[in-house]
């Protein structure tokens, strides 16, 4: 499997989630299964079935996070040699040329992308259009709803 790019912050978040799942969620679900078993006949026990389903979800998520962290290439945006160009980890402020609206995004790995938080995946059309560009450049992003042009207002690494 190839390496999975993650920012330091993304790696920390996944580590915290993994710790929570192993130390809080896993013991709670084991207790819930034991409680449901104590109620007798398991074939008609909805509480037991729900607890087992939740256990499966938790165990799958633990395995997924462990796999991601094992294969992660953790990149500190502050230590990237970028020569003023946009690279992985950059936080970019853009102005959409038609509307004049401003947007700010950080380019992160696929596993930590969250558009509502301003974190866009390195493999997204927006990030691919920005990589290698610098402040003052104009980029064109092709989206299903049409093409958009943005000016790169500023680039920072935080």
DSSP secondary structure letters along 85-120:
B--TT-EEEEEETTT--EEEEEEE-GGG-BGGGTEE
Average pLDDT over all residues of the chain = 91
pLDDT at 81 over 80: no
- The DSSP result for 29-80, as a single string, is HHHHHHHHHTTS-GGG-HHHHHHHHHHHHHHHHHHHHHHHHHHEEEE-GGG-
| Equal fold, 4-75 vs 77-156 | no
| Lowest-confidence pick of 26-35, 76-85, 106-115, 132-141 | 76-85
**18, burial (CB in 10 Å: exposed 0-12, middle 13-18, buried 19+):** middle
Which of the 8 DSSP states describes residue 135?
T
pLDDT at 134: 93
119 dihedral zone (left: phi>0; alpha: psi -120 to 50; beta): beta
Domain ranges of the chain: 4-75, 77-156
CATH topology of domain 4-75: Helix Hairpins (1.10.287)
User: Mind listing the pLDDT tens digit for each residue in 107-129?
Assistant: 999 989 999 999 999 999 999 99
| More reliable by pLDDT, 48 or 138 | 138
CATH topology of domain 77-156: Chitinase A; domain 3 (3.10.50)
pLDDT at 154: 93
User: Mind listing the pLDDT tens digit for each residue in 10-62?
Assistant: 999 999 999 999 999 999 999 998 888 887 776 777 888 889 999 999 999 99
Buried b (16+ CB within 10 A) or exposed e, 3-15: ebbbbebbbeebe
pLDDT at 86 over 80: yes
Q: Characterize the bridge pairing of strands 91-96 and 119-121.
A: unpaired
> In this structure, what token pair is assigned to residue 17?
């989630």
pLDDT at 89 over 70: yes
């Amino acid at each position: 499997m190839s390496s999975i790019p993650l920012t330091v912050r993304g790696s920390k978040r996944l580590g915290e989630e993994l710790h929570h799942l192993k130390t809080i969620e896993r013991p709670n679900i084991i207790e819930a299964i034991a409680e449901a078993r104590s109620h007798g006949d398991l074939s008609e026990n909805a509480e037991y079935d729900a607890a087992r389903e939740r256990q499966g979800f938790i165990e799958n998520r633990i395995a997924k996070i462990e796999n991601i962290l094992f294969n992660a290439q953790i990149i500190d945006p502050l230590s990237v040699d970028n020569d003023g160009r946009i690279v992985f980890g950059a936080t970019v402020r853009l102005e959409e040329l038609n509307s004049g609206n401003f947007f700010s995004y950080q380019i992160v790995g696929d596993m930590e992308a969250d558009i509502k938080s301003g974190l866009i995946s390195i493999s997204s059309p927006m990030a691919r259009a920005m990589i290698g560009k610098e402040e003052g450049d104009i980029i064109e992003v092709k989206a299903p709803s049409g093409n958009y042009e943005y000016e790169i207002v500023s680039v920072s690494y935080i």
